[in-house]
Amino acid sequence: MRKKIAAGNWKMNLTPDEACDFAAKLAPKTEGGADVVFCVPFVSISDVVKAVKGTGVSVGAQNMYFEEKGAFTGEISASQLIGAGAKYVIIGHSERRQYFSETDETVNKKLIKALEHGLIPIVCVGETLKEREDGITIELVRIQLKRGLLGLNPSEAVKTVIAYEPVWAIGTGKTATSEQAEEVCAAIRELLEELYDKNTAEEIPILYGGSVTAQNAGELFAQKNIDGGLVGGASLKDDFEVIAKA
């Protein structure tokens, strides 16, 4: 069976002290179901790793760079994330694509580097509202994923996590229906089988993200091809306990 994952993306929220306090209180409440990941700001990684020690909760980063080291002011490397205690890293989130010029090509470079260092990458794909209205959602997601996974063999691909996040549903309160989310996640699974093989496709977890709440999590995660969630705003609330257990 594919592992179930509840990943919280804390984005640019909470100071290190606030993050530690919140993580220490929330982590024990989320145990007993899915693999739980807190993806926190860089400055809080080390402290949150200590705060959740012994709970089974993993800590992740929200981005990384594809070079080992060097004159790249403001960036952070995979080895630095590992050194801080991170286990997961989000790659290609729509906010990175929208505000910081992330492309499918940079996603691919970061993904390859993350795998080299043993980080578990959560690779994000998804369409804007206009792209959905234009009827090109499936085609767009396939292109994003094909380019993002370029050069990976099956043994590398199974170490990744895919997150489908419709851009129009992130932070808007609008959520894809369970049918809409399942349609795209099923198409992702189909593409993974085309790129690799059925067994590989069946092993890779696919998450849904986009205004996931305690109220809609159960229905979303009950879908055949949805293996959990990449959760934004609700991961900073006690509601995340309900989402993780869903």
Write out the H or E segment, with its range, that includes residue 164: strand 161-164
Termini Cα distance of the chain: 17
Specify whether 165 is catalytic: yes
**Based on C-alpha coordinates, what's the Rg of the chain?**
17
Distance of CA 93 to the CA centre of its chain: 8
- Give the Cα separation of 9 and 83 in Å (integer): 20
Given the residues 102, 165, 182, 241, select the one marked as catalytic.
Answer: 165
127: left (phi over 0), alpha (psi -120 to 50) or beta: beta
Specify whether 117 is catalytic: no
Torsion angle in degrees (nearest 10) through CA of 59, 145, 72, 159: 40
- Give the Cα separation of 159 and 217 in Å (integer): 25
- Give the Cα separation of 97 and 83 in Å (integer): 26
123, 98 contact by CB (below 8 A)? no
- Active-site residues, by number, are 93, 165
